[in-house]
Amino acid sequence: MEIQGYNLPDDLYYDADHYWCKLEGGLIVMGMNDFAQKLAGEIVFVQLPFEGKKIQTGKKFAKVESGKWVGKVMGPVDGEIAASNQALETNPKLINQDCYGQGWMYKIKPDDPGKIDALTHGADKIRSWLLADIERYKKG
Amino acid sequence: MELFNLGKVPWDRSQLIYHALGELNREALSLVSPATPYVCLGFHQNVDVEVDLEYCRSQGIPVFRREVGGGAVFLDGRQLFFQLVLRKNNPLVPLGMEAFYRKFLEPVIQVHRRLGIPAEYRPINDLAANGRKISGTGAGHIGDSAVFVGNLILDFDYDTMARVLKVPDEKFRDKVHKTIRENLSTIRAELGPKAADLPDETGLNAMLAEEFSKVLGPFTPGRMDAELEAMMRTLGRKMLPESWLHRRGKRVNGRQVKVRAGLEVLHRVHKAKGGLIRVDRTVEDGRFRDVDISGDFFVQPKDAITRLELFLEGRPAADVRSLLADFQANHDFDLPGVTIEDWLAVLE
């Protein structure tokens, strides 16, 4: 769905830092959402952790650089990295071009796939959460 | 919020302090300057690509990788650093990048204006005076904190800056040197003879503290307590060894040096079937400048390359594919074994 110029599909799950997640064949696929990629500007580097790296909910496991900013990527759930999108090594701009498709970032093997429910999901919740952040953004 | 007005500190502490405050989630403004010079590398840079380590070692210049983005810079005691650490969720921290920089560069603009320099904010993170950059800034997340760092540049050692960078050849170094000199100014250069009246380091730091307090509220004196010292030691053990310096960074094609936002000096080499092509060029605000093509390919007539260089001058770099097609269609020349794809490899 489109909310004030930002495209946030309502079938995805979102963490507080505007990364999206979805369950796919027992794995959680993760990437940056449209609001975050627009705010970040051109992504110039993405850390791509190796398969097997353990991640924890709310703990940093990678960094993303947009030229003006180095940001952290936090674990959305407990688990381990099953894959990182190697295409981002040479072309991190894929995140800006297609954040829900070719610009996906990580696949995570979750300890408990049900934990994805702790993330923001459902059209109404996504809408009110994003509107609150847009408001904060506008205020500066 | 704490204020660490420390003046001159050992070079490594000028970096470790804000990293430690960030990790500890201690909101503070730190005003420091390194007692001795060093080179500071952006978080995702490859040190072997960016810095002439052999030269730095021979001159006793340490090299440090910070947890903030941007490019390699030469830092010394003629630069005064401001390092702001705020909790990520502090309502004072704007969500958008531009709003963030605009807000926290304002005190720095005011300090320059009080000194008589007409500094202005230039999106997204530059401060300019009379058309030239006058302060370097960067930001990022460290721990659960949003960190903003930058400097008042009293004087700048252009020669050493150009010397510590790793370059493919001296011609490229001269180009980098010239471009930095043309595009980066300093407080002393802007003030000219009036620089004699410039406040000393203590006075300038007092001005910074005063201007930042207008945005952040009053400060309490920061204490270099056991917690902070312990975190600086911990981070020193992580960030000072060679292993941290040599972490794998982002892959770059050829060599590129960013002088300011929208201004880069680039060098690329590509092996085409018809021979080696090498291109040095500057891209300024999206347009080609000073394109210099050489190599061992065969071209007839000889001036076709000069014509291509002139053709590209001032044109939008983003249009390179159509520009090359246009040039090929409208100029008569023979360049066997070099295709448009080969040119794109060095010009895109």
ipTM: 0.81
Chain A residue nearest residue B92, CA to CA? A140
In this structure, what token pair is assigned to residue B148? 């903003």
Residue of B250, B251, B259, B263 for testing the chain A interface, max A β-carbons within 10 Å: B250
pLDDT digits (tens, 9 = 90+) for B281-297: 999 999 999 999 999 99
Restricting to A residues 28-87, those with a Cβ less than 8 Å away from any Cβ of B are 39-41, 44-45, 47, 63, 65-72
Q: What's the rounded mean pLDDT across residues A21-34?
A: 96
Q: Residue B304: what pLDDT? A: 93
Number of domains chain A is built from: 1
What are the structure tokens assigned to A74, written together?
Answer: 């936090």
Are B96 and A140 inside 8 Å of each other by CB?
Answer: yes
A78-103 mean pLDDT: 95
Closest CA of chain B from A45, distance in Å: 6
Mark yes or no for CB contact A66/B69 under 8 Å. Answer: yes
Main-chain dihedrals φ then ψ at residue B158, nearest 5 degrees: -60, -40
User: What amino acid is encoded at B47 in this protein?
Assistant: V
SS3 of B83-134: EEEEECCCCCCCCCHHHHHHHHHHHHHHHHHHCCCCEEEECCCEEEECCEEE
- Residues of A whose CB is below 8 A from B251: 89-90
Which positions ≥6 away from B108 have C-beta within 8 Å? B82, B119, B127, B135, B150, B152, B208, B211
Which site among A38, A43, A68 would you substitute to test the B interface, given the most B Cβ atoms closer than 10 Å to its Cβ?
Answer: A68
Label residue A100 by pLDDT band (50, 70, 90).
very high
Q: Give the predicted TM-score (pTM) of the model.
A: 0.88
Mean pLDDT, rounded, of chain B: 94
Q: Contact A45/B139, CB-based, under 8 Å?
A: no
The pLDDT value recorded for residue B250 is: 78
Q: What is the pLDDT of residue B31?
A: 98
- By C-alpha distance, the chain A residue nearest B95 is A137
Sheet with A60-65: list strands edge to edge.
A45-46, A60-65, A70-74, B137-142, B145-153, B79-87, B28-34, B2-9, B220-221
The pLDDT of residue B94 is above 80: yes
Per mean pLDDT, which range of A134-138, B193-197, B276-280 is the poorest?
A134-138
pLDDT band at A140 (very low <50, low <70, confident <90, very high): low
Kindly report the CATH number assigned to the domain that includes residue A111: 2.40.50.100
**pLDDT tens digits, residue range B38-62?**
999 999 899 999 999 999 999 999 9
Give the range of the structural domain holding residue A120, as residue numbers without chain letter.
2-139
Chain A residues with beta carbon closer than 8 angstroms to that of B43: 63, 65, 70
B44 at the A interface (CB within 8 A)?
Answer: yes
Each residue's pLDDT tens digit, B122-145: 988 889 999 999 999 999 999 989
B149 close to B83: Cβ distance less than 8 angstroms: yes
Q: Which of A75-89, A100-114, B250-264 has the lowest mean pLDDT?
A: B250-264
Q: Does B99 touch chain A (CB under 8 A)?
A: yes
Pairing mode of beta strands B119-122, B126-129: antiparallel
Report CB contact under 8 Å: B67, A70. yes
Task: For residue B23, count other CB atoms closer than 10 A to its CB.
Answer: 19
**Cα dihedral sign, B328-B334-B335-B337:** positive
Cβ contact, residue pair B44, A63, below 8 Å:
yes
Which is higher by pLDDT, B230 or A134? Answer: B230
The answer to whether B316 faces chain A, any CB pair under 8 Å, is no
More confident: B251 or B183: B183
Q: In this model, does residue B83 exceed pLDDT 90?
A: yes
Return the pLDDT at B99: 87
Q: Do B96 and A133 touch (CB under 8 A)?
A: no
Report chain B residues whose CB lies below 8 A from the CB of A133.
Answer: 95
Query: What share of chain B in percent tops pLDDT 90?
Result: 87
What 3-state DSSP class applies to B333? coil
How far does B23 lie from chain A, in Å, by closest CA? 12
Tell me what pLDDT residue B20 has.
Answer: 98
- What pLDDT, in 10s, does the model give residues B153-176? 999 999 999 999 999 999 999 999
B140, closest residue in chain A (CA to CA) = A70
User: Is residue A23 pLDDT above 90, yes or no?
Assistant: yes
Q: Note whether A39 contacts B96, CB cutoff 8 Å.
A: yes
Q: What is the mean pLDDT of residues A45-51?
A: 93
Q: What average pLDDT does chain A have?
A: 93
Distance from CA of B68 to the nearest CA of A (A): 6
**204-263 in chain B: CB under 8 A from chain A:** 249-251
DSSP result, B215-284: HH---EE----HHHHHHHHHHHHHHSSHHHHT------SSEEEEEETTEEEEEEEEEETTEEEEEEEEEE
Closest CB to B140: pick one of A47, A69, A89: A69
Domains and CATH numbers, chain B: 2-245 (3.30.930.10), 262-347 (3.30.390.50)
A138 has a pLDDT exceeding 80: no
Q: How many CA atoms lie within 13 A of A101 on its CB side?
A: 3
Q: Is the pLDDT of residue A137 over 80?
A: no
Q: Do A69 and B67 touch (CB under 8 A)?
A: no
